[in-house]
Amino acid sequence: MKIIVTGGSGFIGSAVIRRALALNHSVLNLDCMTYAASKKTNKNLEDKPTYKFENINICEKNDVTAVFYQYKPDAVIHLAAESHVDRSIDGPKAFLSTNVIGTYNLLEASRDYLKIDSSNNNFRFLHVSTDEVYGSLSETGQFTEESAYSPNSPYSATKASSDHLVNAWHKTFNLPTITTNCSNNYGPYQFPEKMIPSAILNAINGGPILIYGTGENVRDWLYVEDHAEALLQILNKSAVGERFNIGGNNEISNNNLITKICEKLDEKIPKSTSYKSQIKYVEDRPGHDLRYAINNTKIKNKIGWRPSLSFDRGLDLTIEWYLKNTEWWEDLYKNKIFIERQGIIR
């Protein structure tokens, strides 16, 4: 299968590419290499004949359309997005451009391409979204595919908008789309501003390990390689028009997560005092959702996928990767770009 992966130099996109190539698919990576993408991430793929890269911004419709005609894909896995909630609060315009207009351009390029290549009956447009579109849960309950949308941040609002566009292009134009909504991802190659790598890198570099508000916010964590496997299975097995929630079944509060990271670092690279002494509570994020939790029943029953790693094992692998791969993150971390709300140096 020939697959276009948008955002393939980013965290989740690169994991999808690695898995797709392992399954003997051919991949074209479309990425405009913004701050969150690194050339180092896919460097070991550059010599593979089944891997190609195009530096293209999905907000440029003509460029996107041209790529479809040239590459003639069997599928699109759309991951390119502005994805950090803090950045969406500070500058929402970029999120509207990429997450909404960019998705529109890809949908239209797919539609135009299928008008010319009408024989491609197996074409699929797999749109990858987030559980944040559902809003916030109380202390009980889970998100299902039937949960109402209630986004609370500029980021989640733009992702919800893109989800609705994808559904509309399927219903109105019969575009063969599939949508997924995932929980929080973690693992190797994640940009340092995100919560888990931020905690690891700030800890080992002697900085503050920041926690918003009271730290009681709960997230469900999904190992990125498990997510990539789920997406490839959905692409292969799902009917068009379907929607799947993808979660890791690993609910944990921010307090307990940061404590767990510190305890693991105390074991792996001990110092005179516990890394817990670096924890610092800061003013809460505006509109901070209390809790996310994914119900995985549909994907388990219809696709046969379930997470392969426990959270404890996945967190060990993640910490060990950052400890061993300083050459990947050190330049990002030393750029001295400071996000005041998070206290992250990256």
Residues annotated as part of the active site? 131-132, 155
Q: Which residue has the tokens 């809003």?
A: 135
Sign of CA dihedral 243, 248, 250, 253: negative
Give per-residue burial for 181-198: e unless 16+ CB within 10 Å, then b. Answer: bbbbbbbbbbbbbbbbbb
Sign of CA dihedral 265, 267, 272, 273: positive
DSSP, collapsed to helix, strand or coil, labels residue 95 as helix
Of 143, 161, 165, nearest to 151 by C-alpha is: 161
- Count of residues in the chain: 346
Which residue type does 19 have? Answer: R
Around Cβ 313, how many Cβ atoms within 10 Å?
Answer: 11
Which neighbouring-strand residues pair with 2?
Answer: 26
